[in-house]
């Protein structure tokens, strides 16, 4: 992600671009004295600011200017990666309103999940409003490795590990799929690395070797690890994080 020079913007447009509402709403926030820039209250919505590394606050909540939002979320169990969930609460309710309201050219506003995790799967989930980034991270052509911690119902045998590494045929999918790496960490704990993302892939692969997934957690994407972020919590990705995703 090569940094580029950004043009100064009117404060009203800055707030709009970051998801704080329509331009009218953003102008109202400024005029009512709810916006501070560099520690000072600004009431002129048309005042220009250099957005490079700009930090401001709206109604007391600090916020950094981001040309594109790149977010890491620790997805908890019992949530759906959908803005219109069918049964479980949406992961998007875990994010602040500006991230959900960031304007986009597409009909859907806000950041979008980079791929999906099942409702009972936990762990590292990326969200962004950068369509090119979503494509690069999701496309099987780029072979971005994703590491899963798998708890299984039955003990893991060396034969199971061998089959997962060699390739297994999934139901309704004649082309074999194989793990990029596979390690039995404990009797019923498997560390599995995949470079493609098929529907229910981990569960189907374990079923293909005669086992069953009891718990599933994604701990790493590329060189980026989830770390100690608590379930349901999110944070901005740093330039270093983005570099790790490419490694």
In the beta sheet, which residues pair with residue 9?
A: 49
Cα dihedral across residues 233, 237, 241, 246: positive or negative: positive
Q: What's the CA angle centered on 45, arms 43 and 46, to 5 degrees?
A: 125
**Which tokens belong to 245?**
């995703």
118 is catalytic: yes
CB 208 within 8 A of CB 198: no
| Residues 244, 117, 120: CA angle, nearest 5 degrees | 130
Active-site annotation holder among 50, 118, 173, 241: 118
- Alpha carbon dihedral 20, 22, 23, 24, in 10-degree steps, equals -110
Which residues are tagged catalytic?
Answer: 118
């Amino acid at each position: 992600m090569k940094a580029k020079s950004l043009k100064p913007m009117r404060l009203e447009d800055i707030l709009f671009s970051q998801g704080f509402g329509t331009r009218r709403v953003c102008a109202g926030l400024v005029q009512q004295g709810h916006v501070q820039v560099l520690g000072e209250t600004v009431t002129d919505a048309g005042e220009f600011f250099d957005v490079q590394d700009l930090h401001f606050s709206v109604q007391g909540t600090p916020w950094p200017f981001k040309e594109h939002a790149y977010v890491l979320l620790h997805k908890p169990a019992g949530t759906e990666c959908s803005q219109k969930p069918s049964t479980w609460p949406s992961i998007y309710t875990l994010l602040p309103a500006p991230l959900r309201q960031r304007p986009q050219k597409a009909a859907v506003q806000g950041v979008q999940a980079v791929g999906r995790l099942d409702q009972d799967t936990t762990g590292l989930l990326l969200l962004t409003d950068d369509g090119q980034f979503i494509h690069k991270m999701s496309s099987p052509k780029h072979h971005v490795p994703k590491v899963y911690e798998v708890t299984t119902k039955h003990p893991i045998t060396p034969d199971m590990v061998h089959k997962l590494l060699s390739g297994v045929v999934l139901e309704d999918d004649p082309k074999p799929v194989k793990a990029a790496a596979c390690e039995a960490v404990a009797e019923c704990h498997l560390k599995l690395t995949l470079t493609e993302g098929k529907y229910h892939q981990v569960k189907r692969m374990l079923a293909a070797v005669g086992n069953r997934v009891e718990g599933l957690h994604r701990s790493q994407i590329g060189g980026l690890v989830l770390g100690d972020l608590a379930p349901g919590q999110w944070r901005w990705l740093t330039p270093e994080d983005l570099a790790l995703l490419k490694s």
